[in-house]
Amino acid sequence: MSSFEKHGNPGLDAVMKVIGGKWKAQILYSLGDGARRFGELRRQVGGISEKMLVLQLRELELEGLVLRRDYQQVPPRVEYRITPLGASLVDALKVLDDWGRRHGGQIGLPPRVMEDE
């Protein structure tokens, strides 16, 4: 029995727990370019409801990947920014984004037969 069969892949499991689902990776990727206000973040992510964005941001905050700053002013002003831990994950997301841009058009197509070299 291989180590993978015994223990799975704890590193990948940890990553998928954090970025699993449709929105968290997109939110983190957006925050990788700098602090964002709620409305700005919602426009950048696109298609996410206000309720879902609030939920996802709270989870990312609890996981230590995002900081929320409330400026305690009128009108209300709240900014979200990425933590150093979150920034390290964004670096990995950029690699995945690059892969998706290069190979996304091949997903769902029949696999090509690879010849022996």
- Mean predicted lDDT score pLDDT of the chain: 88
Residue-wise pLDDT for 65-97, tens only, equals 999 999 998 888 999 999 999 999 999 999 988
19-68 pLDDT, tens digit each: 888 999 999 999 999 999 999 999 999 899 999 999 999 999 999 999 99
Would you kindly state where each structural domain of the chain is located, as residue ranges? 3-95
pTM: 0.80
Residue 66 · residue 31 · CB < 8 Å: yes
Q: How far is CA 102 from CA 87, 93, 98, in A?
A: 23, 14, 6
Provide long-range contacts, Cβ within 8 A and 24+ apart, for 68-76.
69/35
d(CA 76, CA 70): 8
28, two tokens? 């983190």
The pLDDT score that the predictor gives to residue 59 is 95
- Residue in 50, 63, 56 with CA at minimum distance from that of residue 14: 63
| CB-based contact 64:78 (threshold 8 Å) | no
Q: At the topology level of CATH, where does 3-95 sit?
A: Arc Repressor Mutant, subunit A (1.10.10)
